[in-house]
Amino acid sequence: MQSDYSKIIDPVKLDRLAEIAVKVGLGLKMGQDLVLTASLSALPLVRRIAEQAYKAGAGLITPIFSDEELTLSRFHHAYEMSFDRAADWLYEGMAKAYTSGAARLAVVSDNPLLLAGQDQAKVARLNKAMSIAYQPALEKIAGFYINWNIISYPTSAWASLVFPDLSIVEATRALAEVIFTASRVNNDDPITAWANHNWQLKKRSTWLNNERFSALHFSGPGTNLTIGLADDHEWQGGASVSRNGVICNPNIPTEEVFTAPHAYRVEGHVRSTKPLSHQGTLIDGIFVKFENGQIVEAHADKGEVVLNELLDTDKGARHLGEVALVPHSSPISASGLLFYNTLFDENAACHIALGQCYSKCFHNGESLRDEEILVRGGNKSLIHIDWMIGSGNIDIDGIKADGSRVFVFRKGEWAI
C-alpha cells in the first residue's frame, strides 16, 4: 500500500503537476472527454488531475484503474490459461473513445519490479496478450489521432528502488522532488518554462530536419551501429500537434528529439546503457546485432526470456520504430539516478525503440496511409519499447546521402 506515504508529498506541487498534465501535457480542449489510465497507487494525483481537468472544461473523465495487488493475485492464484488473456473489449472501447475525440492521459507509478519474482515465461505471455489486445488503442495514440500525455507519480515502492539508501519516507520525498523538477513544476511559472523548453527542442529538431541525414552512426563501448533514417523522416521534439489540431506534450518530462529509423537499414551492434523496466520485470545488459534492419541476435544479462518473447511478438518487433537523441548533460541524466522507468530513463540518454513507428515522424505523416509509411521505411508492430543506448561515451555522426559526415554528438553531448 502506497497510500500511507502520499501525505509526504507537497500538495501544492502535486496540484501544479496535475495542472501541467492537463494544460501543457494534454492541452485539453473545452468539452473534450478524457480517458485516464492509472494504478491505484497514483490515486492522489489522479484525483487532482480530475479536478484540474473538470475546471479546464473536461466533458467526462473515465478513470481505468489497475491494481498491483490484483496483478500479483493473478500470478499467485490463477490457472495456466489465464496468462494468455487480455481485456481486448476494453482497449477496443478506448480506441472508440479516442475516435470519438477523447484525450488520453496515463499516470505511471507502478513498482518497476512488481513481477520480478514471478515466472518470467508467464510474464512474457501476459505481455504478448496485452500487446495484441492494446493494439487498437495504441494505433490511435502512436498515430497522434488525439492529444495525449504520460506523467508520473512517486510511489514509495518505486522511490525505494531509485533511492535504496534512504528511508521510505525520505526516498518518496526525494523522488517527488525529482519528478517536480524534471516536470518543471518547481519553476515560478511552469507554463512559460514549458514554452521555453519546447522552443529549445524545436531548434534542435529544425537543425536536424535541415541537415537531412540519411543515417546516424553511433559508436562507443560495445556499440557500433548505423541507423538508416526513413525516407521523408521528420524530427520531432517537445510539443506535438495532434491530428485533432490540439498541441500537446505527450511526455512529461521530455528532453528528447526523435524520428523514424528505416526499418530495413540498420546495421551493426549495440549495447544498452541502462536497465529497461518493462511491465514489472527488469531487462538489463541488452546486446543485439542488426542485419538489414532486423535483430538477428539478442542477449541480456537479466530478463533474456522476456526480451526474446518481446522480439517474437511479431515481425516488426525485431525492427526499430524510433531513434531519439538526448544529451548526457540533460537534467534527468545529470541527477545520476537510475529510475527503472522508461519515461525518465529515456530522457536521460539517447535511445532506440523496438516496434511501431510514429506517423508524425514523417513529412505530412498524418495524411499518409499505412502502406505509404511502410514504403518509406516506417515500421509496424504491436509493441513500442524504448531502451537506452546513450552515455557520456557515445559519439554520433550524421551521414548524408553523399557519404559526408557531420558531428552530431561528441562524448554524449550535442556537437552543434
Q: Is the separation of the CB atoms in 356 and 323 below 8 Å?
A: no
Between 59 and 331, name the residue whose CB sits nearer to a second copy.
59
Query: Residue 40 and residue 67: Cα distance in Å, rounded?
Result: 6
Name which of 4, 336, 350, 15 is nearest 183 in CA terms. Answer: 15
CB of 368 to a second copy, least distance (A): 27
Would you state the torsion angle of the CA atoms of residues 214, 216, 217, 221, taken in this order, to the nearest 10 degrees?
-160
Kindly list the residues in this chain that would bind a second copy in the complex (CB under 8 A): 3, 30-31, 33, 40, 43, 46-47, 50-51, 54-55, 57-67, 69-70, 73-74, 76-79, 81-82, 85-87, 89-90, 92-94, 96-97, 100
CB of 309 to a second copy, least distance (A): 19
CA 233, chain centre distance (Å):
20
For residue 51, the tally of other CB atoms under 10 A from its CB is: 16
Between 23 and 74, name the residue whose CB sits nearer to a second copy.
74
For residue 284, the tally of other CB atoms under 10 A from its CB is: 16
CB of 86 to a second copy, least distance (A): 7
CB of 3 to a second copy, least distance (A): 7
C-alpha cell at 171: 526516498
Alpha helices (runs of H) in 335-400, residue ranges in sequence order: 342-345, 370-375
Between 76 and 369, name the residue whose CB sits nearer to a second copy.
76
CB of 167 to a second copy, least distance (A): 23
Residue 196 buriedness (CB in 10 A; 0-12 / 13-18 / 19+): exposed
Between 32 and 341, name the residue whose CB sits nearer to a second copy.
32
For residue 117, the tally of other CB atoms under 10 A from its CB is: 11
CB of 66 to a second copy, least distance (A): 8
**HSE (side-chain half, CA atoms, 13 Å) at 59:** 12
Between 157 and 388, name the residue whose CB sits nearer to a second copy.
157
Peptide bond into 261 cis (omega under 30): no
Between 86 and 368, name the residue whose CB sits nearer to a second copy.
86
Between 6 and 379, name the residue whose CB sits nearer to a second copy.
6
Query: Residue 176 and residue 410: Cα distance in Å, rounded?
Result: 32
End-to-end CA distance of the chain: 47
CB of 211 to a second copy, least distance (A): 43
CB of 18 to a second copy, least distance (A): 11
CB of 44 to a second copy, least distance (A): 10
Between 91 and 235, name the residue whose CB sits nearer to a second copy.
91
Query: Residue 386 and residue 254: Cα distance in Å, rounded?
Result: 14
Residue 157 buriedness (CB in 10 A; 0-12 / 13-18 / 19+): buried
- Beta bridge partners of residue 323, listed in sequence order: 259, 352
Between 66 and 219, name the residue whose CB sits nearer to a second copy.
66
Between 18 and 326, name the residue whose CB sits nearer to a second copy.
18
Between 59 and 285, name the residue whose CB sits nearer to a second copy.
59
The strands making up 294-299's β-sheet, listed across from edge to edge, are: 294-299, 287-291, 261-271, 223-229, 215-220, 395-399, 405-410, 413-414
- Distances in whole angstroms, Cα of residue 406 to Cα of each of 166, 204, 329, 396: 44, 15, 21, 9
CB of 32 to a second copy, least distance (A): 11
CB of 67 to a second copy, least distance (A): 6
